Amino acid sequence: ELLGRLFQTLTKWILGLTLPLATVTIVFAKPLMRIFGPDFEPGWIVLVIGTLGQLVNCGTGSVGYLLMMSGNQKRLIRVQAAMTGVTLLLNVVLIPKWGITGAALSSAITNAASNVWYLRELRRALRMSPYNRSYLRLLPGAVACIAVALVLRSTMGWVRPEWSLVVLSGVVSYAALLSVALAMGLNDDDRVIARAVLARFRK
């Protein structure tokens, strides 16, 4: 029961604290790619696809590690073996058609599908899920975070250099999410994690 509660709380905050970064990366994908030069700008879609794939990874938590550490490594290996075949198939189909975008899409699909499958195996093996009602408290903060990034992009596109607007958007997005989340209130498990994090920083 304790492991399950810890899994839920950590996954919720890993997802929550990743949302502002993912939002800013997606909203400002073109400016981020232009940092490396104008020739890199067309690759913005690759950045967006990769970010979405990693967001699914964060949203399912450490399911693969939990399977491995709980003696269910055979389930883990079975998923990995199957998804290796899926990756090869997707690469053969998508890369000739869409090039690097196809490669990114193949990787994101495989990553997302693997984590969802791990989650299913974890539920079967340990009767555990990372999700509970407390996730609903993150929803207003996530909406605020997305709104802040979109408003800053539409109203402050004149700011130069562009990377400074990206940094500003990241800071304000994190502030918006955390402010709303704290206003919504923390449950007992959230407070335990918060105290542990603060204790680490104080050291």
Model pLDDT for residues 13-24, shown as the tens digit of each residue:
899 889 999 999
DSSP secondary structure code for residue 136 in this structure: G
pLDDT greater than 80 at residue 202: no
Residue 119: both structure tokens together: 């989650």
Residue 193 pLDDT: 78
Residue-wise over 74-87: b if at least 16 C-beta within 10 A, else e?
Answer: ebbeebeeebeeeb
- pLDDT, mean of residues 27-43: 92
pTM, entire model: 0.87
pLDDT greater than 70 at residue 131: yes
Rounded alpha-carbon distances, angstroms, from residue 130 to 143, 144, 173, 177: 21, 23, 24, 20
- pLDDT, mean of residues 54-80: 91
Residue 31: both structure tokens together: 């400016």
Specify burial of residue 64 (Cβ count, 10 A radius: 0-12, 13-18, 19+): buried
- pLDDT, mean of residues 36-43: 90
End-to-end CA distance of the chain: 30
Residue 22 pLDDT: 95
From 50, 52, 28, 54, select the one nearest 41 (Cα to Cα).
28
Q: Where do runs of H (alpha helix) occur along 42-72? A: 44-60, 63-69
| CA–CA distance, 129 with 7 (Å, rounded to integer) | 8
Among 51-55, 126-130, 164-168, 184-188, which stretch is predicted with the lowest mean pLDDT?
A: 184-188
Q: Which stretches of the chain are assigned E, i.e. beta strand?
A: none
